[in-house]
Each structure stands twice: as C-alpha cells, then as structure tokens.
C-alpha cells in the first residue's frame, strides 16, 4: 500500500526549533516529488514547497522561502520540514503529499497521496 | 498564480446538482486538480488534469475547463459529499490553492 506517515503532534515554545517528518512506503521514494502544505486553524490550504528526493532539488513558495527548510533522507524514505525558530503564527496543521506525474496524460500532475497531518502548536 | 473559487459557501440538499467555479489569474492550460477535505482529515484527490476522475472517486463528480476557468460539478449530492472543496493549479510553482468552498447541508 502506498502511504505517507507523518510524525506526531508537537507543542513547542516560541524560539524553539522543530523538525517534523513524513515517511513514505509502498513506492520508489526517489522518483516522486514530495510537497508540504500548511493549514492554519479553520483556514484553507497553503502551498509551502516541494522536494525531489532523488537529488534534493527543492522549490519554495515565496511566502515560506527562508522561513522553513525542506529536506529528505532517501536512505530511510523520509522527507522533513523544519524550523529554526518557531513563532506563534506557525501554529497549524502541516501535511506532506506525493506529487504524481502522469506520463500518459500529457504530463499532468496532482497530489495523489497525503499524509495524515502533523499538528504543530507554538505557545508560551 | 491566484485561484479564486466561487462561491465560498454553498448550502444545498441531498440530491441537488451543484457546481463550484475556480478562476485562475492567468492561463494554466488544464493543469488543475480538485480536492475534497472533511473535518479532521487530510485532503483527498478527486480530479486531476481538470477533468480526469481519480481512481475510486464516484462518477457523480466531474470537472471541466481549460485556461482560466474551471468547474467542479456534483451531479446528485450524497450525505458524504458535504465537505470543503479546493482547486489547485499545478502549471507552475508555487502550486497555489483556491481559498476553498464549504458545502453545507441545507
């Protein structure tokens, strides 16, 4: 079964660092991009960025560039999202998702497999 | 690329036909996907390439459009369809989402 399993909920203080994970299974990890999506409490989905685990090529949304770091360890099929200094507004649910690429459909793409989400709470 | 969904809220009854529109600020060909999200759960892919139904998604869901205007139609609402729907463009980075359409029971 193809799945992404994310690390558990976190409660942190402002200024602390954090690294959350997204472990892939059931497919070849290095051949699909993995994206990260933020959802603030009661709000919509926001695209953060994406990484290709095969060569660690990474693209960030301008809104999140410099605020977070996306990485991957292909030896354990795991992608990461990390903060060096958390702020209260970082409180949100964070999802990882696999980007599928449809070679037989004109190169279309989608986020076809999603992790269950990691809730991050930042509070003093 | 900005995506604007309309309406933001929609009240409908079981059996109704509903349509949600997603407009892009610039042309994105048919690089558009639709997702359904129920409270407390991750989004679920419904449609990609603007009109291709993801495997396992009921045929009452359909998508259309190209360029800057797209629609998601549910032909006959079922109780399990009451959720929030998002469009997403995958034409160019960043892969932006629409603001969402919350579909509620009338």
Cβ-based contacts of A45 with chain B (< 8 Å): 35, 37, 43, 86, 88, 97, 100
| Closest C-alpha among B82, B78, B58, B62 to residue B70 | B62
Is B99's Cβ below 8 Å from some Cβ in A? yes
How confident is the model at residue B41, as a pLDDT?
Answer: 98
Task: Look at B94 and A109 and tell me if their CB atoms are within 8 Å.
Answer: no
To the nearest whole Å, the CA of A66 is away from the closest chain B CA by 15
Q: E-assigned strands of chain B?
A: 3-6, 9-12, 18-24, 32-37, 44-48, 52-53, 61-66, 69-74, 84-89, 101-105
B58-63: long-range contacts, CB 8 A cutoff, minimum separation 24: B61/B34, B63/B32, B63/B34
Which residues of chain B does A105 touch, with a Cβ-Cβ cutoff of 8 Å?
A: 48-49, 52
Separation of alpha carbons B1 and B13, rounded Å: 33
Q: Provide, as residue numbers in chain A, all residues whose Cβ is less than 8 Å from the Cβ of B100.
A: 44-45
The answer to whether the beta carbons of residues B26 and B1 sit under 8 Å apart is: yes
B16-65 confidence digits (pLDDT tens): 999 999 999 999 999 999 999 999 999 999 999 999 999 999 999 999 99
Mean of pLDDT over chain B: 97
Q: Does residue B9 have a pLDDT over 90?
A: yes
pLDDT truncated to tens, each residue of chain A (124 aa)?
999 999 999 999 999 999 999 999 999 999 999 999 999 999 999 999 999 999 999 999 999 999 999 999 999 999 999 999 999 999 999 999 999 999 888 889 999 999 999 999 999 9
């Amino acid at each position: 079964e193809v799945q992404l399993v994310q690390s558990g909920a976190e409660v942190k203080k402002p200024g602390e660092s954090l690294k959350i994970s997204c472990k892939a299974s059931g497919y070849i990890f290095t051949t699909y991009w993995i994206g990260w999506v933020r959802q603030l409490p009661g709000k919509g989905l926001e695209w953060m960025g994406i990484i290709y685990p095969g060569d660690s090529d990474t693209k960030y949304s301008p809104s999140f560039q410099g605020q977070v770091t996306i990485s991957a360890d292909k030896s354990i099929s795991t992608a990461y999202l990390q903060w060096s200094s958390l702020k209260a507004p970082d409180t949100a649910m964070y999802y990882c998702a696999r980007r599928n690429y449809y070679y037989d459909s004109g190169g279309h793409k989608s986020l076809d497999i999603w992790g269950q989400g990691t809730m991050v709470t930042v509070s003093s | 690329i900005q995506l604007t969904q309309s309406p933001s809220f929609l009240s409908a009854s079981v059996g109704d036909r509903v349509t949600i529109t997603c407009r892009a600020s610039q042309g994105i060909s048919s690089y558009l996907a639709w997702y359904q999200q129920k409270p407390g759960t991750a989004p679920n892919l419904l449609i990609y390439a603007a009109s291709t139904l993801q495997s396992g998604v009921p045929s009452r869901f359909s998508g259309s459009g190209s360029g800057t205007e797209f629609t998601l139609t549910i032909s006959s609402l079922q109780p399990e369809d009451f959720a929030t729907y998002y469009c997403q463009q995958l034409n160019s980075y960043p892969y932006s989402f629409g603001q969402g359409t919350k579909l509620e029971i009338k």
